[in-house]
Amino acid sequence: MRILWHHTKRATKHVSKKTGHFLFPYLWHYYTDTYKGRFHHLIVDSVLSMMILTLLAANVAIGGWLYVFFIPPEVEVELSVPAVVISGSNLTLDIAYNNLSKGVANVQFEVLTPTGFIATDDQLFQTIEELAAGEQGVLKAKGYFIGNVDEAYRFIAIYSYDYYGQHYEQVRAVTFTPVTSSFEVVTNVPDKILRTEDVSWTVEYVNNSTVPRTDACIALVIPESFTVIESSNEISDQNIVYLGEVESRAAGIITITGHFNNAIGEGKQVLGVSALDDCAAEQYVQTEMSDPIRVLTPRMSLGTSGAETVNVGTSARYTNSYTNTGDAPLRNVTLVATLNDFENRVSAISGNGGLVSGNTVTWTDSEILPGETHSQSFTINTNPNYREKNAEMSYSVRATAEIDDLGILTYTPSIAKSIKYNSTLNFAVQYRNGERVGEQFGYGPYPMEADNITAVRVFWEVQDFTNDLSNVTIQTTLPSQVEWTGMASVTEGSGVTYDPATRKVTWHTGSIPSFAHPQGASFEVRVRPNSQQIGKNINVTNETYFSARDSFTGVVLSRSSSALRTDDPIQPFSD
Amino acid sequence: MLGVVASPVQAKKKLPNKFPRVANYFLDPQISNAEAKELAQWDVVILGFENQYTSPNAFKKMRAINPDILILAYVTSEEVPIKHLKETDKKHPVYKLYNQLNEKDNWFLKNASGDYLNFYPGTRMLNVTTAWKKTLPKYMTKQVLKKHPKKWDGVFYDNCFNDISWIDNKVDVNQDGKADSWKTADKQWKRGMNTIMKQTRKRNKGKLIICNSNGEYYTSINGRLIEAFPSDFDGKWSGSMQKYYDVMNTAKKPRMVIVNTVANSSDDSNYKKMRYNLTSTLMGDGFASFDQSVDFHASLWWYDEYSVGLGNPISAPFNVDTNAGPDDFSNGVWRRNFQQGIVLVNSSNETKKIVLEDGYEKILGTQDTTINNGKVVGAVTLNSKDGIILQGRPTQVAGATFTNGTLAKVFGKNGKMKRNNFFTYNSQFDGGDTIIYLEDVNKTVTADETYVYVYKGGNLLTKLAPYGEYFTGGVNIDVDRLEGKNKGYRIVTGTQNYGPHVRIWSLKGKLKNPGCFPYDQVFGGGVNVAIGDVDKTNRGKEIVVAAAKGGGPHVRILNYDCELISPGFFAYGEGMRTGVSLAVGDVDDDGKDDIVTVPGQGAASHVRIFNSRGKEKSSFFAYDSSNHSGASVAVSDIDGNGKNEIVVMSFSIFNQ
């Protein structure tokens, strides 16, 4: 161990001497030498040392220069967009950066956007003052994008940075393709249509975007055989419907009516539609849709008949007739009558051979030959307890059949019929005398006596009417033994009149509103029976007639009431 | 000592514009408050002139209750009760007038033998040719009529004989100690009496002066009192009626005849005799008086017939058999037509049956219920010397809002039926219109779905659309004289639908107040309105409102500025939604207007009467409680007797 320590000590001492001597020989020698010229030696050595040191420093400087200027910094940038890009919707470009080597300064990003991208913030040009080695982050460029669906578009990012007076610049790009659009269109046409029928074609559009769509259009794909009769929106010669600006979340519908004037046979036609954005300039194609429609040759005619107005508590029969107007037999004919608003209004439906289910009556007919006409009918019993103002119901009838030689299902247009309910009406005629003090409506002996005067009050009462009534007239005549006293009153309209020449009593009023309280007129008459009438019941008034026009159905409602007769036989004179 | 200076002559009083007219010949030295309250019912009351001293408060009481009452001072013109000569109270009017006679013996009427003459037991005749003829009118003027102008409306001179020779064949009118010839005596007597009458008239131009005599002095006086009608002395019924008519044709206007009949019994139930007096009196324009006897004119007998309102006469009396007029009051059945009824009197000695052309309603009385049974009749049987008042059947609810063409039931405050049902109807207007007739200005205000109209007769004065021309929800109205800064007749409109908007208009259609919404504006129903003085403050009348159809039963009170002055009360259960018809008027005669309510369609016709604080005073069902047809209500004096009834009207032609 001591030997080891000894040699280590000697070696250390030797290295120290040699290193010190090497690096600072003039100081070494100056302190270790004792000769005379050692000071001179010191100067020479110092000069020599300075030279050595200078050379060493120069080498170091050269090495540093080489490091700075011959090894460039490395900044890595990646661009990315969402996996699904929707035209017309928000779109954010992510710019991910990573400084892999040396710190750089004045890092600048400039994003070049595709046409159709509208930035919603000011982030297309961004600067980072200092970017240290190893620093990383993500910049975002936000906006929304409108472009053709399924067409490729590209973002380009140009970025640059400085390093010890050196300026570096690089470019990155990302490509994306809108898979769909927030400006959507849906077209809707019937599956089939008779050639003689007008086609109702609807195009619904909606802007699901958070931003408005300016200069939006819808391009219609219209077959040559289709003639537009009417459209809710103007259609250009190029079959474009210009919508202008469609607000965010706004929707609309275009209704087009037309017909196929040249289609023959039972062929199929296609009506298509595509949404266009910025249609005045770029015409970005958004969603597209098409709908096939079969145009059928009419082979059947259908008609229906029956009362247009009904009274509550009665029955009405409706007959539906269908004719094969084609040149081929029709098989499996199905006729369906559908009653609308029938709840409560109808107490029973009878199919007369048809199957009644809910509000439908269905008849089937195995075959109808060309030129033949078949009929089916149903009967409704109106609800006697139904009371509603201006009550109305309707039914529609439609037939379907298989074309014998083609196996195609054809049909007839639906026909409809409205059934209005006449007003209910309770018309009552009565007279009252009223013996109880305080509640007398007349005077004189009762039962009536011969040669004695009894006055009674005649009441005409109209109630329980559901529709407004107009031109209301009630009329009667007075028998010879009955006199008009002039005491009369009415609840509505002008007064009761009496014509002594004709002995007619009349009440006329222009209108009576429905569901008012009972309305009517009353008047007093004096009755003076003669002795020939003793033991008989006599007329107080003759037959009474009521007429009024139902303001809803237009029907003149008539009622009559038989002669108003005394309740009791005439008694002999008692006083 | 100078007397108290009399106030200026009181404004000339008009005779009551009503029939029947009734007078009470009430001679009682002392009148109690209770008696005064009862006496206030009569149109004319004759009180002893001494009552101004003995019962001063009685006058105030009577005039407070009946401001139109006429009070006449009774004094004998040509005689003096001997007991009055012994009066010692120097302040007593009797003393002041008669004590001087104790020292003026020559003022008494004597015969040639110097004997005092008298006509009525306990009295002594005065000689009207003496200074008495000026003393009496001077006294009655200065000490009675002008000294107490608020007490007296005139004077009744008892016993104003046309002549005097009949009293004693030795009468010495000129005091020469010799018997005068009848011609001289009567001439001088008449001259003296004329002086009394003329002096009284000259000094009291606005006052009523009547006498108990035939018609010699009618150029100065207003009429007479016919005592003990019909008397044999006057020619029984025919003669008495002729004299009655003579006065009515010749006396100074305003002509007043009091036709007094006496029962000659203290029993007040001689209804037949009373009716005979009353119906005979109603053949003219006089005042009927019925009391105990000529010796005791101090009865407080009030009869059912007195309360009837007949309105004014529309015909002269006529004999139903001969059609003779009042120029020949021969015995038979006589009739006179009035606005609100007819009067029949049978002066013959036979029972008569009278067939009437139209139906009339008997009085629903409480006294002679065999006659006044409330029945509607087309013929009546009248006993000899009997009469009857028959009421016409009303067709309008006077002074109140009603719907044209409804059946009206008439009730008292406790639900007792007061009249026979009747149909409201004015043929000038459509059925269903709302109508109110203002009798005092002879104008009719009506309302329909949109407009309010004001008519005078058949002339349309005003047409206004209170809620605009396009409003068709129906207009409710009440019309009355409002006080305060909105003083004058005002139409208060409410709506039947589409929002509870109250507005105030003049009769000329000028908007006086744009109105208010007493209920939430969101409420789609209307508001019923009524005007009355329910709180008896000095602020005048109020507008009382209730929600119309579809609304709750919340009654609220507004002032005439349409400002809420009372949060009101719920007339029925808060959940009820039929709306409430209401009317305002004094139905219990307490001097304060009451609020009368009835639910609308959908609820029983439960009539309730409230004070302004919502305290129920009484209630009843107008129809059976199971009848939910609904009703509307009005307060009106259907009888015309000065007292209000409750009129409940059906919503339709009738509710039963």
Q: Dihedrals φ, ψ of B531, to 5°?
A: -115, 140
Q: How far apart are CA A556 and CA A570, in angstroms?
A: 38
pLDDT in tens, A361-395: 999 999 999 999 999 999 999 999 998 999 999 99
The tokens for A360 are: 């439908």
Residue A264 pLDDT: 66
Q: What's at A377, amino acid-wise?
A: S
Residue A262 pLDDT: 66
**Contact assessment for residue A292 and residue A269, using Cβ atoms and an 8 Å cutoff:** yes
CA–CA min distance A82, chain B (Å): 54
Contact criterion met (CB < 8 Å) for A454 and B376: no
Q: Which helix (H) or strand (E) holds B94?
A: helix B93-98
Mention every residue, 6+ apart, whose C-beta is less than 8 A from residue A133.
A73, A99, A100, A101, A102, A103
Contact criterion met (CB < 8 Å) for B378 and A444: yes
Interchain contact B393–A (C-beta under 8 A): yes
Q: How far apart are CA B452 and CA B466, in angstroms?
A: 7
Closest B-chain CA to A442: B376
Q: Dihedrals φ, ψ of A460, to 5°?
A: -110, 115
Mention every residue, 6+ apart, whose C-beta is less than 8 A from residue B89.
B95
Say how far residue B624 (Cα) sits from the centre of its chain. Answer: 35
Q: What's at B649, amino acid-wise?
A: M
Q: Which helix (H) or strand (E) holds A41?
A: helix A38-70
pLDDT in tens, A115-125: 889 898 878 88
pLDDT in tens, A19-69: 777 767 667 767 777 777 777 777 877 788 788 889 999 999 998 888 877
Q: What percent of chain B shows pLDDT beyond 70?
A: 97
Q: How far apart are CA A173 and CA B364, in angstroms?
A: 112
**Contact assessment for residue A290 and residue A221, using Cβ atoms and an 8 Å cutoff:** yes
Instruction: Quickly count: other Cβ atoms within 10 Å of residue A224's Cβ.
Output: 8
Chain B environment of A438 (Cβ under 8 Å): 364, 374, 409, 417, 419-421
Task: For B477-491, give one letter per residue: b (16+ CB within 10 A) or e.
Answer: bbbbebbeebeebbb
Chain B environment of A439 (Cβ under 8 Å): 420-421
HEC string of A487-551?
EEEECCECCCEEECCCCEEEEEEEEECCCCCCEEEEEEEEECCCHHHECCCCEEECCEEEEEEEC
Interchain contact A4–B (C-beta under 8 A): no
> Which residues lie across from B260 on neighbouring strands?
B289
Chain A environment of B373 (Cβ under 8 Å): 437
Q: How far apart are CA A26 and CA A40, in angstroms?
A: 9
Mention every residue, 6+ apart, whose C-beta is less than 8 A from residue A370.
A324, A325, A326, A327, A328, A329
The tokens for B377 are: 């009749």
Q: What is the mean pLDDT of residues B589-616?
A: 93
What's the half-sphere exposure (Cβ side, CA atoms, 13 Å) at B220? Answer: 21
Residue A406, exposed/middle/buried by CB under 10 A (0-12, 13-18, 19+)? middle
Chain A environment of B406 (Cβ under 8 Å): 489, 491
Q: What is the mean pLDDT of residues B164-185?
A: 93
Q: How far apart are CA A136 and CA A34, in angstroms?
A: 65
Q: How far apart are CA B637 and CA B644, in angstroms?
A: 4
DSSP state at residue B105: G
Q: Report strand pairing: B452-456 vs B333-338.
A: unpaired
Give whole-number Cα distances, A222 to A260, B394, B595, in Å. 11, 82, 78
Interchain contact A436–B (C-beta under 8 A): no
Q: How far apart are the first and last CA of chain A?
A: 174
Q: What's at B589, amino acid-wise?
A: D
**Contact assessment for residue A143 and residue A97, using Cβ atoms and an 8 Å cutoff:** no
Q: What is the mean pLDDT of residues B134-155?
A: 96
Per-residue pLDDT at B7 exceeds 50: no
Residue A284 pLDDT: 76
pTM (2 decimals)? 0.74
pLDDT in tens, B419-432: 999 999 999 999 98
pLDDT in tens, B438-494: 888 889 999 999 999 999 988 999 999 999 999 999 999 999 877 766 677 899 999
Q: What is the mean pLDDT of residues B248-257?
A: 92
Residue A80, exposed/middle/buried by CB under 10 A (0-12, 13-18, 19+)? middle
CA–CA min distance B550, chain A (Å): 15
Residue A25 pLDDT: 67
Contact criterion met (CB < 8 Å) for A442 and B393: no
The tokens for B529 are: 């309105």
Instruction: Quickly count: other Cβ atoms within 10 Å of residue A40's Cβ.
Output: 10
Interchain contact B497–A (C-beta under 8 A): no
Q: How far apart are CA B501 and CA B514, in angstroms?
A: 9
Q: How far apart are the first and last CA of chain B?
A: 76
Q: What is the mean pLDDT of residues B192-210?
A: 94
Interchain contact B579–A (C-beta under 8 A): no
> Which residues lie across from A513 on neighbouring strands?
none
The tokens for A436 are: 């109880």
Determine the 3-state secondary structure of A214 from DSSP. Answer: strand
Chain B environment of A495 (Cβ under 8 Å): 425, 427, 431
Q: How far apart are CA A146 and CA A35, in angstroms?
A: 95
Per-residue pLDDT at A156 exceeds 80: yes
